[in-house]
């Protein structure tokens, strides 16, 4: 579940987060993308968001030293599956990804939709999607590409964009594609962060079934680290100090 950073401040913050070292070497590097309200750069330059808060809670309770870094999604996935002592979060658990990760902590159960321009009044049906009557766009490595496939959109009708954030939305807005995929909460926050009204596009069809957001570890991460994180989550859950992100929480306008 990774998007375009449309302001100089966010771009600078992401560059600094990806390239500058901290005063000490953190035990873990935790990767994610800019995907408000789940993860984003706050006003003070730190990574915030409703997913981030839960990740920090679990890792702090485990007594682990960590650094959270925002990257373009394809790079976050690459590093999380190839580097030692790395985690990734707000990543969706799908059959294709199942064997590549250890799914440590559930964060949320988002609902995804196909979005079209607000002035597109066509009735989108499963048969029309499978027949190739619509074009779509998605970001490389993102769940949205998988969801379009599950929805029946032929691969040749999908424009895949590499590391260009919300380029999928912009292609639809420009009339170069008909559809893109987003969760409702993220769509509102991303449009607002880019200076658009959220109603420039509209949800036209629920897709994707139930796929959860997780904190996950690549299989190369040590079993000891993975065990410590899982046990921390289980202790918090048993004590009533952990709950997954609610629909009300991501709908709260006080969450950017």
Q: What is the pLDDT of residues 129-156, one digit of tens each?
A: 999 999 999 988 888 998 999 999 999 9
Contact partners, residue 187, CB within 8 Å, separation at least 6: 113, 115, 198, 201, 203
- Sketch the domain layout of the chain as residue ranges: 8-109+211-251, 112-207
90 pLDDT more than 90? yes
Give the whole-angstrom CA distance, residue 145 versus residue 74.
12
Write down the pLDDT at residue 247.
65
Residue recorded with tokens 């929480």 = 249
**168 in Cβ contact with 138 (< 8 Å):** yes
Give the whole-angstrom CA distance, residue 131 versus residue 116.
18
- 8-109+211-251: what fold? D-Maltodextrin-Binding Protein; domain 2 (3.40.190)
Average pLDDT, stretch 214-229? 96
Write down the pLDDT at residue 182.
92
- 112-207: what fold? D-Maltodextrin-Binding Protein; domain 2 (3.40.190)
Give the whole-angstrom CA distance, residue 171 versus residue 180.
9
Closest CA to 38 of 81, 80, 73, 74: 73
Q: 226 pLDDT band (50/70/90 cuts)?
A: very high
The domains spanning 8-109+211-251 and 112-207 adopt the same CATH topology: yes
17 pLDDT more than 80? no
- Cβ-in-10-Å burial (0-12, 13-18, 19+) of 202 comes to middle
Give the whole-angstrom CA distance, residue 55 versus residue 20.
22
Give the whole-angstrom CA distance, residue 174 versus residue 72.
23
Which residue has better confidence, 24 or 109?
109
Write down the pLDDT at residue 181.
95
36 pLDDT more than 80? yes
Question: What is the number of residues in the chain?
Answer: 256
97-115 per-position pLDDT tens digit: 999 999 999 998 888 999 9
Give the whole-angstrom CA distance, residue 74 versus residue 212.
19
Write down the pLDDT at residue 256.
55
Give the whole-angstrom CA distance, residue 198 versus residue 57.
31
28-32 vs 158-161, strand pairing mode: unpaired
């Amino acid at each position: 579940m990774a998007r375009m950073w449309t302001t100089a401040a966010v771009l600078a913050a992401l560059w600094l987060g990806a390239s500058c070292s901290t005063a000490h070497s953190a035990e873990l590097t935790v990767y994610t993308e800019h995907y408000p309200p789940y993860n984003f750069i706050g006003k003070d330059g730190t990574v915030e968001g409703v997913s981030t808060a839960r990740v920090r809670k679990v890792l702090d309770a485990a007594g682990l030293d960590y650094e959270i870094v925002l990257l373009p999604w394809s790079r976050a996935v690459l590093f999380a599956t190839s580097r030692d002592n790395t985690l990734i979060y707000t990543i969706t658990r799908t059959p294709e990804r199942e064997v590549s990760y250890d799914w440590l902590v559930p964060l949320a159960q988002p609902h995804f939709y196909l979005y079209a321009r607000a002035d597109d009044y066509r009735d989108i049906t499963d048969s029309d999607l499978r027949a190739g009557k619509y074009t779509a766009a998605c970001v490389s490595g993102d769940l949205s590409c998988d969801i379009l496939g599950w929805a029946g959109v032929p691969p040749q009708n999908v424009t895949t964009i590499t590391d260009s954030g919300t380029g999928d939305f912009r292609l639809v807005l420009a009339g170069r594609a008909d559809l893109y995929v987003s969760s409702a909460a993220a769509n509102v926050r991303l449009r607002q962060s880019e200076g658009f009204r959220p109603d420039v596009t509209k949800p036209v069809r629920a897709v994707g079934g139930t796929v959860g957001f997780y904190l996950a570890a690549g299989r190369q991460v040590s079993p000891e680290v993975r065990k410590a994180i899982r046990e921390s989550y289980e202790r918090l859950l048993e004590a009533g100090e952990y709950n997954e992100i609610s629909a009300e929480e991501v709908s709260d306008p006080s969450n950017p």
